[in-house]
Structure 1
Amino acid sequence: MSDYICALSDAVERVHVRYPNRYGLMIAGDLYTAKTMDRTRQYPALIVGAPYGGVKEQGPCVYANELSQRGFVVLTFDPCYMGESEGEPRHVSSPELFTENFSAGVDYLGLQPFVDRERIAVLGICGSGGFALSAAQVDTRIKAVVTASMYDMSVAARMGQTPEQILETKQKLAAQRWKDAENGYMPEYIPTFPEKPLEKVPPELGEPDAEWFRFYAVKRGHHERARGGFTTTSNLPFLNFDLLSHLDEISPRPILLIVGDRAHSRFFSETVYRKAQDPKELYVVKDAEHIDLYDRTDRIPFGKIEDFLKTSLQ
């Protein structure tokens, strides 16, 4: 039985690939192409990053399945330390490494004879939206950026905390480092979601926790390699790293920010829109919460994405 959350179109070919990032870690990816593609020609390409804590078999496969039918070569991937990609210990998160994963995808695509190196874009879902933008700040080979339900994890790490609470958080994480070191550098990892999918979301959960469970913890989006969260001390670098401090340097390459009108995360996209330089666009999807842009093909504006990419990658 397939562990992808959506069925592969009969018109699409999906091939599992592996390639290194700049740190020598092998990244596990899937390459999607239309079966009718003429491999003697060169095509525009797109790299799709999973929600923070997600894997390529979840939201990315939904986007890749659709956009490959619209004329794009699409690469999905598991972040290093996640899914089928290399990296030990497992479930480690890093703003630098997760940003680098997008540039590693550019490396891989640019070596394919049927990909036009001058027409490569990135699309990040949720936390990958922040990493995609971060990569575009420094990697000028990325010609356009699309985000869906974007999260900036460096902002999220401090969000809603007073200076006193931030200090307390740092002290707890520092104490956890001692525990991890004493344990032979096997860092603490506490998964958020169950090993097997639930039939329904526990009624006692409040928002936005219940929303995460509406995707990751039930059959809709559950995956055994995406049980939520990262090693406890993975939060440390996000307290010390501003992912999006150079947004203005993406211009004149275009940015499309897609967000649901009911998304709890809407302010992240609105903040980026205010700070980024033209050309930029904020596209609000009606009647959509944050997770609806992971997999709901009746909400994800594929026509808008196609038009944006084809215009941007001319």
Structure 2
Amino acid sequence: MPTMQGETIMLAMKKFANKTLTLTSLGLLFLSHTATAELQNIEAKSMPTQSQTIATNNITVRKVQFLSQGTKVVGNLYLPANIKAPQSAVVVVGPQSSVKEQVSTVYATQLANQGFVALTFDHRTFGESGGVPRQLENPEMKVEDIHSAVTFLQALPQVKQNAVALLGVCSGGGYSARAAATDSSINALVTVAGFYHDPQVMRQWLGDNYQARLEMGKAALIKYENTGKVDYMTNVDPKNTKVAMPGQEAYDYYGTSRGVRPGWVNRSAVMFFEPFLQFNAIDSGHEIKAPTLVIHSDTALVPDGARRFFKSINSNQKNLHWMNTSNHIAFYDQPEVVESAASKAATWLKQTLNKSSD
């Protein structure tokens, strides 16, 4: 999308100046482990940056910024209590359309309580991050953002460079799988209720709507490239089937106080259908070498896709953990489900990341 890339770069070039603690990382004036006192009062144009925002429940949360393909990405860095030496770290990647204050923060908090450094962030075009058109669910863009997040974490003095993992929830699981397949510096992968789809799965799921939505996405992209105008579609609406995320279950989270958060917008750019419907998360398993834990249930999305994905994983270290849940979004915010999944993930990551950092 040449016009999109040009506009996002232009947006990133706008002045964004803050006097914060600044850390420069690989590819961005690499200055790993430089004393923080030497980095005061440097403008955010040097990216990335971090500044303390909250210290609560024995976790320090810092607002952070880094660049992905030249565009500002904003995240939250969760640091465990009394951190005195570099720790294992996890990039937490949320579901379709989500922002960092939703599902991602739930798992990041759990992981930080287990001693991990955890990073949540808004993908480009979402939340506080830059990028246009807004609310564009483009899988390949999101995979690029994950790579940038990993690079950012590896440059932090609080992080063991060879002990960085991904934890992806729902669509974030599929995106994390692709990232792990294409980045050997990712040392472990956990997917939670991952949405593992390929064109075959989407055709079966959507039926006649598959081709119609694919054509709708193509037409919206052509319109955007020719006119700069963006067609949008509502994400969730229980009374409307012509939405980006149909069904009562999606509405029960995103349309209610369970999931509504500042920064989340109930719409998607229609042009997302073309890249999203043709994205293949399942085949990513063939290229994954990192230790991988797949957490799923019979009531989560596409359980057969989860089994196919797990079977395809090429790692010698892999584990499938099957849970009992009432539905898919129980993995988003139901305490007993989240705590069980996060505990299993933390145990797996401690075992595998400790080996990778030896």
SS in 1 for 2:233: coil
Alignment of 1:172-183 (within 5 A): 172-181=216-225
Deviation at 1:31, TM superposition (A): 0.2
Counterpart position of 2:175: 131
Question: Which residue, out of 330, 344, 347, partners 1:304?
Answer: 344
On the 8 A contact 1:48/1:122 being kept in 2, the answer is yes
Distance 2:115 2:302 in 1: 30
Relative to structure 2, which stretch is displaced further, 184-193 or 237-246?
237-246
Q: Tell me the CA shift for residue 59 of structure 1.
A: 0.7
- Compare 62-71 and 266-275 and name the one that shifted more: 266-275
Alignment map for 1:28-39 (pairs within 5 Å): 28-38=74-84
Match of 2:333 in 1: 295
Deviation at 1:91, TM superposition (A): 0.9
1:313 alignment counterpart: 353
Give the corresponding residue for 2:59. Answer: 12
Determine if the alignment matches structure 1 residue 25 to structure 2 residue 71: yes
In the alignment, the residues of structure 2 paired with residue 107 and residue 142 of structure 1 have an alpha-carbon distance, to the nearest angstrom, of 10
Give the partner amino acid of 2:304: F
CA distance in 2 between counterparts of 1:218 and 1:170 reads: 29
1:274 pairs with 2:321: no
Q: 1:198 corresponds to which residue?
A: none
Q: How many residues align?
A: 295
Are 1:92 and 2:145 an aligned pair?
no
1:54-203, aligned counterparts within 5 Å? Answer: 54-152=98-196, 154-155=198-199, 157-160=202-205, 166-181=210-225, 184-193=227-236
Q: What TM-score do you get using the length of structure 2 for normalisation?
A: 0.75
CA contact (8 A) 1:148 1:293 kept: yes
- Which consecutive unaligned segments of at least 5 residues does structure 1 have? 1-6, 195-200
- Is this contact kept in 1: 2:216–2:273, CA < 8 A? no
The answer to whether the 8 Å contact 1:265/1:290 transfers is no
Bigger shift: 227-236 or 215-224? 227-236
Instruction: Give the distance between the partners of 2:305 and 2:74, measured in 1 at CA.
Output: 29
Residues 202 and 93 of structure 1, relative CA distance in 2, 3 Å threshold: closer
Q: Which has the higher helix share?
A: 2
Give the Cα separation in 2 of the matches to 1:217 and 1:280: 35
The worse-fitting range, judged by mean Cα deviation, of 224-233 and 255-264 is: 224-233
| Per-residue deviation, 1:88 | 1.3
Report how far residue 303 of structure 1 moved: 2.0
Name the % identity: 27
Is the aligned partner of 1:286 residue 2:331?
Answer: no
TM-score where L is the length of structure 1: 0.85
- Residue pair 2:100, 2:121 contacting (<8 A) in 1 also: yes
Q: Is the 8 A contact 1:50 1:59 kept in 2?
A: yes
Distance in 1 between residues matched to 2:324 and 2:268, nearest whole Å? 32
Structure 1 residues 230 and 157: CA distance shift in structure 2, 3 A: farther
Q: Which moved more, 1:170-179 or 1:214-223?
A: 170-179
- Whether contact under 8 Å (1:9, 1:65) holds in the other structure is no
Q: Cα RMSD between the aligned structures?
A: 2.6
The reply to whether residue 223 of structure 1 matches residue 266 of structure 2 is no
